[in-house]
Amino acid sequence: MGRAKILANMEEAGIDISVLLVMAKKGDLAKTRAQNNWLSNICREDPRFEGFGSVHPRDGSAALEEMNRCVEELGLKGFKLHPNTQDFDCGDPALIEVLKRTAELDVPVIIDSYSPWDDAQPSKLLKAILSSPETKICLAHVGMWWFMDFGVYGFAKQRTAIDANVYFDLSASCTLFYQTPFQEQFCWITRQIGPDNLLFGSDFPQFFPKTDSDYPLCSPKFALEAVRNFGYPEDWIPKIVGEMLRNCFISEKSTRPR
């Protein structure tokens, strides 16, 4: 997906800033550094882009050193982890080390929270979060097909401070469940979490329409429409689509060199 196409879809949807993500492969540190460099250069060239770098948790101390470089030298605003694509287990202690380092750097991490191969992933993620409560973490997709398991966060929010640094990206799930029998259930679960911890996301271009496909993939414009009409209170929408991202999720200390 070229830069011009991304910008065109942002313009169509009225999106001011997009977060660009990369994902690191295990054991290929040269490629990891190269793609983080590439991402930093793209973001420096266009203020409409912010970048989340990536490392592989199983790369150990080298991954932690690369995280330092991403923030302190490259000016990236956070990190992206994807257990499925990167092929790591959310129960691996190495993940907790990465989460703790993001807290030390005062930047967030976004991690995909759905795995079709590991039905224990929601509980593993919860354990990792509890092991590093100071980390600002965004659980992308709110578990998607496992979204019922994420009702625990709404339950815990009423009794503990667990919600202070835990956020939920609505990408993929809102568009997948929009105008389906699951919409009301997903909306109820996420409403228990509350507007201060929900973030808009499109998962673009992953959820962009494919040729001759009837599967409900979508553009950023449609993703925005789905979220706005999903059933959330009207006064929640500004927080979900922008105010929260600017004021709370990305630290003011995380500045990008120009």
Give residue 69's domain range: 3-249
Q: Give the tokens for residue 236.
A: 């929640």
d(CA 127, CA 90): 9
Residue 254 belongs to a domain: no
- Residue 243: predicted pLDDT: 59
Answer yes or no: is pLDDT of 180 > 80.
Answer: yes
Is-contact 152 125, C-beta < 8 A? no
Q: How many domains does the chain have?
A: 1
Mean pLDDT across the chain: 87
| Mean of pLDDT values over 53-78 | 97
Residue 233 belongs to a domain: yes
- Residue 100: predicted pLDDT: 97
Answer yes or no: is pLDDT of 9 > 90.
Answer: no
Largest CA-CA distance found in the chain, in angstroms, rounded: 48
Q: How far is CA 113 from each of CA 40, 56, 206, rounded to the nearest angstrom? A: 25, 16, 16
Residue 234 belongs to a domain: yes
Which residues fall within 8 angstroms of residue 144, CB to CB, at 6 or more apart?
Answer: 113, 114, 172, 173, 176
- Tell me, what DSSP letter sits at residue 55? -
d(CA 239, CA 217): 24
Assign 72 a pLDDT band (cuts: 50, 70, 90).
very high
Residue 258 belongs to a domain: no
The dihedrals phi and psi of 250, each to the nearest 5 degrees, come to -95, 120
Residue 256 belongs to a domain: no
- pTM comes to 0.86
Q: Residue 18: which CATH number?
A: 3.20.20.140
Tracing tokens 């060199």 back to the chain, one arrives at: 257
d(CA 254, CA 78): 9
Assign 198 a pLDDT band (cuts: 50, 70, 90).
very high
Please state whether the peptide bond connecting residue 205 to the residue before it is cis, i.e. omega within 30 degrees of 0. Answer: yes
Residue 192 belongs to a domain: yes
Residue 211 belongs to a domain: yes
d(CA 11, CA 9): 5
| Mean of pLDDT values over 67-75 | 98
- Counting residues of the chain whose pLDDT is more than 90, the rounded percentage is 67
* Per-residue pLDDT reduced to its tens digit, 230-246: 999 999 999 998 854 44
If one compares 79 and 220, the residue with the highest pLDDT of the two is 79
Residue 255 belongs to a domain: no
- Residue 249: predicted pLDDT: 37
